[in-house]
């Protein structure tokens, strides 16, 4: 039997570098502006770009549930991975919720695939910081760790 394994780090926001703390704060701030009247589960995503800027986006629900947009996919839709200064070094994902759990938030499956597609297009890893509401963070260095048996353009080659 084969095995897939990867490293991840459990830490707190306070233990991370200042640039990442600011990135996480940006994701928390934008989560407050999410449009989530149905679930009241507000998600914010922030990307640290290679050019040094930060971009943010929040989730946007819709009464027709499949028509909603996750914060991560909304964010990635505005970033062009083929432009060097637009390449993503890191993404932070935070949330606000009435749920009893305070576990770090991992991107959904569609968002994982979308982040991975961005990483493959820019040909450089994207670090993911998954945050909880109480300051705990799970960090992975590469989006492939979130989707080890991913589908890509290689599967479409004839």
Active site residues per annotation: 72
| Number of neighbouring beta carbons within 10 Å of residue 38 | 11
Nearest to 57 by CA among 43, 42, 45, 49: 45
- The token duo for 105 is 């938030």
Nearest to 73 by CA among 43, 111, 120, 16: 111
Residue with tokens 């979130």: 146
Phi-psi label, residue 45: left if phi above 0, alpha if psi -120 to 50, beta otherwise: beta
- Say if CB 72 and CB 115 are below 8 A apart: yes
């Amino acid at each position: 039997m084969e095995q897939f394994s990867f490293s991840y780090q459990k830490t707190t926001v306070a233990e991370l570098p200042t640039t990442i703390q600011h990135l996480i704060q940006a994701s928390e701030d934008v989560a407050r502006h999410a449009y989530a009247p149905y679930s009241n589960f507000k998600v914010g995503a922030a990307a640290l770009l290679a050019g040094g800027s930060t971009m943010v986006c929040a989730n946007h629900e819709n009464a027709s549930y499949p028509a909603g947009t996750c914060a991560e996919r909304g964010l990635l839709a505005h970033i062009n991975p083929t432009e060097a200064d637009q390449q993503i070094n890191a993404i932070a994902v935070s949330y606000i919720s009435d749920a009893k759990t305070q576990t770090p938030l991992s991107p959904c499956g569609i968002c994982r695939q979308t982040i991975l597609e961005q990483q493959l297009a820019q040909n450089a890893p994207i670090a993911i910081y998954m945050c909880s509401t109480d300051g705990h963070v799970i960090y992975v260095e590469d989006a492939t760790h979130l989707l080890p048996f991913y589908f890509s353009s290689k599967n479409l080659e004839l």
